[in-house]
């Protein structure tokens, strides 16, 4: 009688923002869903709808709440000894829980998705003698330096995992040299499950657009992102929307992503700008959309006018369904769009040329068809599920072997 070989456990530390649309969490979740050779255990600090997906695939999902706002800086806590004590205590507790979990389950790899999650688990991982994979899913804008904490992160991580060759090259140059990150940087693209994307026929697309009140004569442009300053919706409205509005119903802008002006001051400012400038017939705030793939197929173009990125998930999801992307020169845009002729890349902050390119593309059906074909081809080559999972498994197997030496 053959005994079934026990799968090696792997710990994923996945801190969440609370936004329903979170490209980084979605990308890592897809990896966890398809890694069948290892036994995933997940720790997080929030209870959100994505936890249900994790519980369907992971051996255990632990929710360890933290006692402060994850986005707040340490400086805000120095004014209040009680808040400072709570924050320090939160880090001590979660690191101890991480160490105990590693001891109890014989974990050899801890995969961390976020700097905050890093500080909450790194000491536990190191004292537990686990190998640490730190996932970097964003880059800083050029004017912001990678300081001391990034040197420490680099030094303590065994692998610094990024999403593209451009990210790898950028961080190799910008991370502190004393952190010795250069030899630890490794890139693996995100998964886009192209096998399960059902491309709509022209007739199906026509019927679907009618259901979403999108006229066939309208050139529908999607801006896919949760609302915050990094994503740049307000500046885009100020610089581009008025010019588009003058074209009267030929182009319509759909903002797709978490939109809660009642609780989000940035979203409220965007809404106020649209109202004050009578742009309601040009702008639609769609809010969070669970079936984002349908939206990608209904719109004619995706605009990525964010201030900085690692590799925007909205970009790769859009080209996978054949929707071209017009982007500022954020990290990975040239590598994915320009290199593969799947879209247009404009210098960062050049709203005049961004507007010009948007209008030109709205009048160039043939160019859009070329971009659509190339985008789908690129997605199948770079983001195919089996290929990406094989790369993750090779990385994990190598680290487990090294950890057992």
The CATH number covering residue 45 comes to 3.40.50.2000
334 and 212 fall within a common domain? yes
Q: Which of 335, 292, 288, 291 is nearest to 310 (CA)?
A: 335
63 and 156 fall within a common domain? yes
**In this predicted model, what pLDDT tens digit does every residue of 106-127 receive, in sequence order?**
999 999 999 999 999 999 999 9
CA 319/CA 374 separation, integer angstroms: 8
- Where in the sequence is the domain holding 348, given as residue range(s)? 194-382
261 and 326 fall within a common domain? yes
168 and 249 fall within a common domain? no
CA 375/CA 320 separation, integer angstroms: 6
- Asked if residue 2 is part of any domain, the answer here is no
The structure tokens 């059906």 sit at: 365
Residue 296 pLDDT: 95
Number of independent structural domains in the chain: 2
Residue 81 pLDDT: 77
Evaluate if residue 4 carries a pLDDT over 60. no
**In this predicted model, what pLDDT tens digit does every residue of 137-178 receive, in sequence order?**
999 998 999 999 999 999 999 999 999 999 999 999 999 999
HSE-CB of 267 using CA atoms within 13 angstroms: 18
Q: What is the DSSP letter of 336?
A: I
Q: What is the largest CA-CA distance in the chain?
A: 76
| Structural contact between residues 108 and 130, judged by C-beta atoms closer than 8 angstroms | yes
- Asked if residue 254 is part of any domain, the answer here is yes
| Structural contact between residues 41 and 107, judged by C-beta atoms closer than 8 angstroms | yes
231 and 325 fall within a common domain? yes
At 402, give phi and psi (nearest 5°): -70, -35
317 and 394 fall within a common domain? no
145 and 291 fall within a common domain? no
| Averaged pLDDT, 326-343 | 97
| Structural contact between residues 297 and 321, judged by C-beta atoms closer than 8 angstroms | yes
Q: Which of 94, 85, 39 is nearest to 65 (CA)?
A: 94
Radius of gyration of the chain from its Cα atoms, rounded to whole angstroms: 22
Evaluate if residue 2 carries a pLDDT over 50. no
**In this predicted model, what pLDDT tens digit does every residue of 181-233 receive, in sequence order?**
989 999 999 999 887 787 888 899 999 999 999 988 899 999 999 999 999 99
| Averaged pLDDT, 246-258 | 86
Structure tokens at 402: 């090294």
- Asked if residue 350 is part of any domain, the answer here is yes
- Asked if residue 326 is part of any domain, the answer here is yes
- Asked if residue 3 is part of any domain, the answer here is no
Evaluate if residue 332 carries a pLDDT over 90. yes
- Asked if residue 290 is part of any domain, the answer here is yes
Evaluate if residue 309 carries a pLDDT over 50. yes
Residues 6+ apart with CB under 8 A from 225: 21, 231, 233, 256, 257, 306, 314
CA 34/CA 36 separation, integer angstroms: 6
Task: Give 3's pLDDT tier (boundaries 50, 70, 90).
Answer: very low
336 and 398 fall within a common domain? no
DSSP of 55-85: HHHSSEEEE---SS-TT--THHHHT-HHHHH
* Secondary structure (3-state) at 260: coil
Structure tokens at 108: 């050899």
**Percent over 90 (pLDDT), the chain:** 80
- Asked if residue 149 is part of any domain, the answer here is yes
CA 121/CA 119 separation, integer angstroms: 6
Q: Which of 55, 47, 42, 16 is nearest to 105 (CA)?
A: 42
Task: Give 6's pLDDT tier (boundaries 50, 70, 90).
Answer: confident
């Amino acid at each position: 009688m053959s005994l079934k070989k026990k799968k090696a456990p792997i710990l994923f530390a996945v801190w969440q923002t609370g936004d329903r649309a979170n490209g980084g969490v979605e990308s890592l979740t897809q990896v966890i869903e398809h890694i069948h050779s290892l036994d995933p255990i997940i720790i997080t600090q929030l209870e959100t709808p994505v936890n249900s997906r994790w519980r369907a695939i992971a051996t255990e999902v632990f929710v360890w709440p933290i006692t402060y706002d994850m986005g707040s800086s340490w400086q805000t806590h120095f004014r209040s000894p009680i808040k400072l004590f709570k924050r320090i205590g939160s880090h001590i507790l979660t690191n101890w829980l991480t160490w105990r979990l590693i001891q109890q389950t014989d974990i050899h790899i801890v995969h961390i998705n976020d700097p905050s999650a890093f500080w909450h688990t790194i000491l536990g991982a190191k004292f537990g003698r686990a190998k640490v994979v730190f996932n970097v899913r964003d880059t800083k804008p050029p004017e912001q330096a990678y300081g001391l904490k990034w040197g420490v992160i680099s030094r303590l991580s065994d692998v610094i995992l990024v999403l593209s060759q451009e990210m790898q090259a950028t961080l190799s140059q910008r991370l502190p040299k004393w952190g010795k990150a250069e030899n630890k940087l490794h890139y693996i693209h995100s998964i886009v499950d192209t096998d399960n994307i059902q491309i709509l026929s022209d007739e199906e697309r026509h019927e679907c657009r009618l259901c979403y009140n999108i006229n066939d004569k309208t050139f529908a442009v999607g801006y896919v992102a949760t609302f915050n300053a990094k994503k740049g919706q307000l500046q885009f409205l100020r610089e581009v929307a008025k010019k588009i509005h003058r074209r009267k119903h030929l182009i319509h802008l759909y903002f797709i992503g978490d939109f809660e002006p009642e609780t989000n001051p940035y979203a409220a400012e965007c809404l106020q700008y649209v109202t004050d400038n009578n742009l309601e017939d040009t702008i639609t705030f769609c809010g969070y959309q669970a079936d984002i793939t349908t939206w990608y197929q209904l719109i004619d173009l995706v605009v990525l006018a964010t201030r900085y990125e690692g590799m925007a998930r909205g970009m790769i999801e859009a080209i996978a369904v054949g929707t071209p992307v017009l982007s500022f020169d954020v990290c990975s845009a040239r590598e994915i769009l320009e290199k593969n002729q799947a879209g247009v890349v404009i210098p960062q902050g050049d709203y005049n040329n961004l507007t010009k390119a948007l209008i030109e593309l709205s009048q160039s059906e043939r160019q859009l068809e070329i971009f659509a074909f190339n985008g789908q081809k690129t997605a199948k080559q770079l983001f195919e599920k089996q290929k990406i999972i094989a790369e993750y498994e090779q990385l994990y197997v190598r680290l487990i072997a090294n950890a057992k030496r």
